[in-house]
Amino acid sequence: MEFRVLKYFLMVAREENITHAADLLHITQPTLSRQMIQLEEELGVTLFRRSKHRIVLTEDGMLLRRRAEEIVSLTEKTVEDMQHKTPQLTGKLSIGSGEFKSSQFLAELIASFHRMYPQVHFEIYSGNSDNIKERIDRGILDIGLLAEPVDISKYNFARTPFKERWGLLVKEDSEFARKEYVTPEEVVLSPVIMTQREMMQNELLNWFGDCADRLQSIVSGNLLYNLTALAKCGLGNALTLDLNCSYDGLHFVPLKPAMETGTVLVWKKAQIFSPAGNAFITYTRQYLNELHDN
Of all residues in the chain, the percent with pLDDT exceeding 90 is 60
Let me know whether 108 and 136 are in one domain. Answer: yes
What pLDDT, in 10s, does the model give residues 18-68? Answer: 888 998 888 999 999 999 999 999 999 999 998 777 888 999 999 999 888
Q: Say if strands 48-50 and 120-126 run parallel, antiparallel, or are unpaired.
A: unpaired
Let me know whether 156 and 266 are in one domain. Answer: yes
Let me know whether 28 and 98 are in one domain. Answer: no
Query: What CATH number is associated with residue 99?
Result: 3.40.190.10
Q: Say if strands 155-171 and 260-268 run parallel, antiparallel, or are unpaired.
A: antiparallel
Query: What CATH number is associated with residue 11?
Result: 1.10.10.10
Mean pLDDT of 176-192: 95
pLDDT band at 85 (very low <50, low <70, confident <90, very high): low
- Count of the separate structural domains present in the chain: 3
Given a contact cutoff of 8 angstroms between Cβ atoms, the answer to whether 267 and 282 are in contact is no
Let me know whether 145 and 183 are in one domain. Answer: no
Q: Which of 119, 142, 163 has the alpha carbon at shortest distance from 262?
A: 163
pLDDT at 142 over 90: yes
Let me know whether 168 and 158 are in one domain. Answer: no
Let me know whether 281 and 156 are in one domain. Answer: yes
Let me know whether 140 and 267 are in one domain. Answer: yes
What pLDDT, in 10s, does the model give residues 170-180? Answer: 999 999 999 99
Residue 109 corresponds to which amino acid?
A: L
Q: Which of 1, 74, 72 has the alpha carbon at shortest distance from 36?
A: 1
What pLDDT, in 10s, does the model give residues 264-288? Answer: 999 998 788 889 999 999 999 999 9
Domain that holds residue 182: 164-260
